[in-house]
A = this chain, B = another copy of it.
Amino acid sequence: MLLSKKRLAHIVFESDDRASKAFDLVLLLLIFGSIIVAILDSVAELHLKYGRIFLVLELAFTLLFTLEYVLRVWLTSKTLKYVISFYGIVDLLAILPVYLSFFIANTHLLSVVRALRLLRVIRILKLGRYLAEAEFLRESLKASAAKIQIFLFMVLTIVLIMGTLMFVVEGPEHGFTSIPVGMYWAIVTLTTVGFGDITPVTALGQLMASLIMLMGYAIIAVPTGIVTSEMARRRKSESLEDLKSCTFCGFDRLDRGDRYCRNCGEKRVNSPD
């Protein structure tokens, strides 16, 4: 069957009728499929056993993704904008390496390029669009973003100072080989992850580590406090929905208990008394 370009564009970019919904669904399945193949192929045993099958599947997925990419580039009204957009680049990175890998002899470079194709997992972010419910969380986080940024800035300051001090106190011989490594350790510790790959050995180092740990213990409360109070605020504003409106001036922010409209001063019909 033949489709007008306009119709095609609608199917590809919208999702409001059967055809476009189907297109989205198929795309989702393809993304999932390619990710699962990539995951399985990364397991040595499976790669040895089914490497060939995975390769075929991967090429198939790549062809389909290429088709999608070409379609998008061809159909979109603002081609450039899409190509240089985040998803545009991700979509390209998901297919380009596979083609490049054919023209590369150097085995090391080849492995790098082949690794790059795994970046297609990032396309899973496209699913986000289909989760309306995720809004609440995203907004809560966005609303708190400013505060969280400052918080992270504070954390990084502590990390910088502590990382440097530990580098000075413990030194390379105890694994704190440089300030960046010290900062890495400080983050591992402050976030209470505590891998234990690098640990203070000297008494002074352990004392300072204890301080930073207690600090982390005390300030881990801050982001929680921010997000929680933010969410509580949202809930309240939502609960404002049972507001009444004035039958005269239509002012719509009256509480149940109001006896006179606080906007026009008219006595409210079915007012408490």
Contact = CB atoms under 8 A, between A and B. Distances in A.
Interface of A: 35, 38-39, 42-44, 115-116, 118-119, 121-122, 124-125, 127-128, 131, 133-134, 136-137, 140-141, 146-148, 150-155, 157, 160-161, 164, 167-168, 172, 177-181, 183-184, 187-197, 199, 203, 206-207, 209-210, 213-214, 216-233, 235, 246, 248-267, 270, 272-273
Contact of A260 (B155, B196, B261): B261
Given A226-B231, A263-B272, 11 more contacts: A42-B179, A128-B157, A141-B222, A148-B218, A152-B218, A181-B206, A183-B210, A191-B214, A192-B194, A220-B223, A260-B262
A131 to B, nearest CB: 6
A116 B249 CA distance: 72
A207 B257 CA distance: 51
Nearest to A184: B206
A33 to B, nearest CB: 14
A90 to B, nearest CB: 11
A186 to B, nearest CB: 9
A69 to B, nearest CB: 20
Contact of A256 (B43, B207, B252): B252
A121 B227 contact: no
Contacts of A229: 228, 231-232, 235
Contacts of A152: 214, 218
A195 B148 CA distance: 26
Contact of A231 (B168, B187, B225): B225
A2 B14 CA distance: 67
A209 B194 CA distance: 12
A179 B118 contact: yes
Contacts of A214: 152, 155, 187, 191
